[in-house]
Amino acid sequence: MDNINIDTLDNIHLDVLKEIGNIGAGNATTALSQMINKKVDMSVPKVRILEFKELSDILGGAENQVVGILLAVEGEIKGMMMFVLETTSAHNLVNLLMGKALNTFEEFSEMDLSALQEIGNIITGAYLSSLSSLTNLRIHPSVPHMAIDMAGAILSVPAIEFGKIGDKALLIQTGFGEGEHKVFGNFILIPDVKSYGTILTSLGITA
């Protein structure tokens, strides 16, 4: 399956990758629900494959401030993964966890930042765990790193790795919760070129 890469994927391959995105986001939502001890509803995820340069626009523009959790993926799949929230969603997520009034947007305290880091660890871990279970592949995430900065600055970190990774990303966008307090999150998976083939082969999908 070495001849399969992100540029030669057909609709069947894309549907499989989208379903992996749906299941991964669903498992991450379940993990979040258990963490805050409340039922968390999830909107149907939107799953797309984009050129990396398109991501900053999806995140509200290069100068839009976001919270990003970034980790490296090693093992039988290699690449990078990010979980990115706009700051409004990040505040609501922390408020939900800490039992604060929603739509309270004070500056993040040390405790808030610690909670955000832990949420990011759990959500990204649940996503990668579901990917590992579905594909039966060994996946080893690095310790996640969190940053609060402009989208362009946060995206520059994986951009520097282009020589080792690729210029396409699998984007899974989903919403947690209800109404005006809904939290919108973005999972961004950037496998290296060979890893797309590895994922699809593990699921019995051939060229």
Q: Is residue 207 part of a domain?
A: no
Q: Is residue 177 part of a domain?
A: yes
pTM of the model: 0.81
Using alpha carbons, list the distances in angstroms from residue 97 to 40, 117, 144, 195. 12, 12, 19, 35
Tens digits of pLDDT across the chain (207 residues): 445 555 556 667 677 777 777 787 778 778 877 877 777 777 777 888 888 788 889 888 999 999 999 888 899 988 888 889 888 888 888 887 777 766 667 788 888 888 888 888 888 888 888 888 888 999 988 888 899 999 999 888 777 665 455 577 888 888 877 666 678 889 888 877 778 778 878 877 765
Q: Is residue 115 part of a domain?
A: yes
Distance CA 17, CA 95 (A): 32
Q: Is 160 left (phi over 0), alpha (psi -120 to 50) or beta?
A: alpha
Residue 1: per-residue pLDDT = 43
Domain that residue 45 falls in: 11-202
Q: How many domains does the chain have?
A: 1
CATH number assigned to the domain comprising residue 64 = 3.40.1550.10
